[in-house]
């Protein structure tokens, strides 16, 4: 499996493209849809996975899901957030989605040749999730290199974030972490150096 990352927008959000057997999964697609389509080099996206519903992670979901005629997966707890540009804003920047979404539940998720484990990790938002595939863990804005996601935006909850971080500490420390912002890291490094995981 090949993993590509694109950085977009004023919040420098990471969009991840997973490619296997000439099929692709898009995780948190934002920025310009043309840039993502170009990065796929003719490979068809078969699904869009959202770690959460914040505006800076969903910017071109509608356009890409329509272009590729692919399903969008989002946890039910974030549907209200993702569908409201009023709730889903920071300052004068906002975004929302209007396409139908498929229910995202904790547990195994198979889409084409991709076999994920989905972990429910609320705190940054009420519907934040992690996607694990092989040794890769896509963590959205739950955890970053040396830090964690904020909990003071709509549906954020500091108490739930603490519980989610406690759960993350039980996972395989060999996971490579792919955050929504910033560089990749490993769970082993974060357990050692991230003050929020001590």
pLDDT score recorded for residue 188: 98
Helix/strand/coil (H/E/C) assignment for every residue in the chain: CEEEEEEECCCCEEEEEEEECCEEEEECCCCCHHHHHHHHCCCEEEEEECCCCCHHHCCCHHHHHHHHCCEEEECHHHHHHHCCCCCCEECCEECCCCCCCEECCCEEEEECCEEEEEEECCCCCCCCEEEEECCEEEEECCEECCEECCCCCCCCCHHHHHHHHHHHCCCCCCCEEEECECCCEEHHHHHHHCHHHC
Q: Using an 8 Å Cβ cutoff, are 70 and 40 in contact? A: no
Q: What is the mean pLDDT of the chain?
A: 96
- Residue 166 is encoded by which pair of tokens? 């406690």
23-27: strand order across its sheet: 2-8, 13-20, 23-27, 44-49, 71-74, 102-103
The predicted-structure confidence for 121-171, as pLDDT tens digits, reads as follows 999 999 999 999 999 999 999 999 999 999 999 999 999 999 999 999 999
From the list 139, 53, 138, 156, the residue with the least C-alpha distance to 96 is: 53
The predicted-structure confidence for 59-94, as pLDDT tens digits, reads as follows 999 999 999 999 999 999 999 999 998 888 887 788
pTM of the model: 0.97
The span from the CA of 120 to the CA of 128, in Å, is 6
The predicted-structure confidence for 3-41, as pLDDT tens digits, reads as follows 999 999 888 999 999 999 999 999 999 999 999 999 999
Mean pLDDT on 186-196: 98
CATH architecture of 2-197: 4-Layer Sandwich (3.60)
């Amino acid at each position: 499996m090949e993993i590509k990352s694109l950085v977009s927008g004023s919040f420098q959000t990471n969009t991840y493209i997973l490619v296997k057997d000439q099929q692709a999964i898009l995780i948190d697609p934002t920025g310009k849809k043309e840039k993502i389509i170009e990065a796929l080099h003719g490979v068809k996206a078969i699904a869009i996975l959202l770690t959460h519903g914040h505006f800076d992670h969903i910017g071109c979901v509608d356009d890409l899901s329509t272009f590729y005629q692919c399903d969008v997966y989002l946890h039910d707890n974030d549907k209200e957030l993702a569908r409201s540009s009023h709730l889903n804003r920071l300052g004068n920047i906002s975004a929302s989605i209007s396409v139908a979404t498929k229910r995202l539940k904790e547990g195994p998720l198979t889409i084409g040749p991709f076999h994920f484990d989905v972990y429910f990790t609320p705190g940054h938002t009420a519907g934040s999730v992690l996607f694990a595939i092989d040794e890769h863990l896509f963590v959205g804005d739950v955890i970053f290199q040396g830090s964690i996601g904020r909990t003071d935006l709509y549906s954020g909850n500091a108490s739930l974030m603490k519980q989610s971080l406690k759960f993350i500490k039980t996972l395989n420390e060999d996971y490579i972490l792919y955050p929504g912002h910033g560089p990749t890291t490993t769970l082993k490094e974060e357990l050692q150096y991230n003050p929020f995981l001590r």
